[in-house]
């Protein structure tokens, strides 16, 4: 070997070692795919796992865009799954309360299952008493989305779905796109965009059920919540907003200072009775149009903290009041009453019938954009 080739050889070895070292620094970050099951018509459904280098792992299926599991380290670095759900597709195909799913076209309720747009009345399926809930009988949570893996700076999964004109009663062909990405600061970010070819209404969200102590580990009543909202939207007995924006001051809905979820959940209060606990939309205090802090939940036991940031005007805080132990989720664990909470970032329920609420109308030529971040950390 001449001196020159010897030197080049050494450089080559050093280059390989440094690239391998770089990879070794990031042994886990990436995205992987495996089969999750089959639909009745034979369509195969996949499960994509996004992994970062901080011990966080999020599995998402293209059936309903469901976040199936969210693994987050506790204060001792031990990972735990903080999302309720099922081990396989069959669980999600049975009747279940939207665990982890993408919700559309319209998250939460539309009163009397109808709304008027430019004088035309649109009738929707009434699947929740007299009201239409979470997009109808076959909302976005029950659709097969087209998935595309994105390997850029952060592992990400793009999901797209074309909701045809008239689907579940809604006007316009709606192209929806949702991108889940997992960053190195333990944030699961969800970016929503949508376009339409006719005026329509839209309210997209994700319906993850969180238990920061781990799914199936009992109730969430000792976990502490702060909600950045001075007002909430009171509801009637069928959980439709009355139209009022009520101050949280002197109500069980004042979470501006952290309080345990259980502290006022059975308060002698009409609103609490209607919701059977907390099942209310909060009017978020916002500054500007970007992401801003909506809520923070802390679990004193595990030390896990979840912060929710969003561009949306509202947040549905639902304390799992309708879970009753009859559903057996991952590892056949039974999910009892209040064994999880949902923080659904959204426009206000029933906005299409409430002209005073921020508009949910989307027109041709416009692009709806919304983002939500679920950021995990450990309490000091
Ligand atoms: C609603 C609850 C409902 C739950 C599951 C929440 O968004 O506000 O009333 O029970 O979703 O459907």
For the CA of 133, the closest atom of ligand 1 is: 12
Low-confidence spans in the chain with pLDDT less than 50: 1-4, 7, 10-26
Contact 285, 229 (CB under 8 A): yes
**Protein residue closest via CA to atom 5 of ligand 1:** 97
pLDDT tens-digit series, residues 203-259: 999 999 999 999 999 999 999 999 999 999 999 999 999 999 999 999 999 999 999
- For residues 74 and 53, give the distance between their C-alpha atoms in angstroms, rounded to a whole number: 15
Q: How far is the CA of 19 from the centre of ligand 1 (A)?
A: 49
Which residues have CB under 6 Å of ligand 1?
Answer: 97-98, 108, 239, 279, 316, 318, 322, 344
pLDDT tens-digit series, residues 284-311: 999 888 999 999 999 999 999 999 999 9
**Taking the model in full, what pTM does it have?**
0.93
- For residues 170 and 224, give the distance between their C-alpha atoms in angstroms, rounded to a whole number: 38
Amino acid 23: pLDDT: 35
Amino acid 239: pLDDT: 98
Name the token pair of 374. 């679920």
**Protein residue closest via CA to atom 7 of ligand 1:** 108
Q: Which of 100, 106, 323, 342 to mutate for ligand 1's pocket (most ligand atoms within 8 Å of CB)?
A: 342
Amino acid 379: pLDDT: 96
Amino acid 5: pLDDT: 52
Q: Which of 102, 103, 108 to mutate for ligand 1's pocket (most ligand atoms within 8 Å of CB)?
A: 108
Amino acid 4: pLDDT: 46
Amino acid 1: pLDDT: 42
Question: Which residues touch 149 (CB under 8 Å, ≥6 apart)?
Answer: 31, 33, 48, 155, 156, 157, 158
Q: How far is the CA of 279 from the centre of ligand 1 (A)?
A: 7
Q: How far is the CA of 134 from the centre of ligand 1 (A)?
A: 8
Contact 156, 181 (CB under 8 A): yes
**Catalytic annotation, residues:** 207, 344
Q: Within 13 Å and on the Cβ side, how many CA atoms surround 73?
A: 15
Q: Which of 96, 133, 315, 327 to mutate for ligand 1's pocket (most ligand atoms within 8 Å of CB)?
A: 133
For the CA of 275, the closest atom of ligand 1 is: 9
Q: How far is the CA of 306 from the centre of ligand 1 (A)?
A: 20
Contact 349, 134 (CB under 8 A): no
């Amino acid at each position: 070997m001449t001196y020159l080739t010897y030197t080049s050889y050494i450089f080559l070895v050093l280059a390989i070692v440094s690239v391998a070292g770089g990879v070794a620094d990031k042994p886990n970050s990436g995205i992987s795919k495996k089969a999750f099951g089959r639909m009745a018509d034979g369509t195969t459904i996949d499960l994509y796992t996004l992994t970062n280098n901080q011990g966080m792992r999020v599995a998402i299926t293209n059936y309903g865009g469901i976040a199936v599991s969210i693994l987050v380290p506790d204060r001792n670095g031990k990972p735990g799954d903080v999302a309720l759900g099922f081990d396989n597709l069959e669980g999600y195909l049975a009747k279940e309360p939207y665990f982890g799913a993408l919700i559309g076209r319209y998250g939460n309720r539309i009163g009397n299952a109808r709304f008027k747009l430019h004088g035309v009345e649109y009738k929707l399926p009434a699947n929740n008493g007299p009201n239409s809930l979470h997009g109808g009988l076959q909302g976005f949570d029950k659709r097969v989305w087209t998935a595309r893996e994105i390997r850029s700076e952060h592992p990400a999964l793009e999901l797209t779905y074309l909701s045809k004109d008239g689907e579940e009663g809604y006007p316009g062909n709606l192209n929806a796109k949702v991108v889940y990405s997992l960053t190195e600061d333990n944030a699961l970010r969800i970016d929503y965009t949508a376009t339409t070819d006719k005026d329509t209404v839209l309210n997209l969200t994700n319906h993850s059920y969180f238990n920061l102590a781990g799914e199936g580990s009992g109730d969430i009543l000792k976990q502490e919540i702060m909600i950045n909202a001075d007002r909430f939207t009171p509801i009637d007995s069928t959980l439709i907003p009355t139209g009022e924006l009520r101050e949280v001051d002197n109500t069980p809905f004042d979470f501006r200072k952290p309080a345990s979820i259980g502290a006022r959940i059975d308060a002698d209060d009409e609103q609490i009775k209607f919701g059977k606990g907390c099942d209310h939309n909060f009017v978020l205090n916002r500054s500007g149009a970007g992401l801003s802090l909506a809520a923070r939940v802390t679990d004193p036991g595990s030390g896990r903290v979840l912060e929710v940031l969003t561009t949306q005007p509202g947040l549905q805080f639902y304390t799992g009041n309708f879970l009753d132990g009859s559903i057996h989720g991952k590892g056949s664990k039974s999910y009892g009453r209040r064994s999880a909470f949902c923080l659904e970032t959204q426009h206000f329920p029933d906005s299409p019938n409430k002209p005073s609420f921020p508009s949910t109308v989307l027109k041709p030529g416009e692009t709806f954009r919304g983002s939500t971040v679920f950021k995990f950390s450990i309490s000091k």
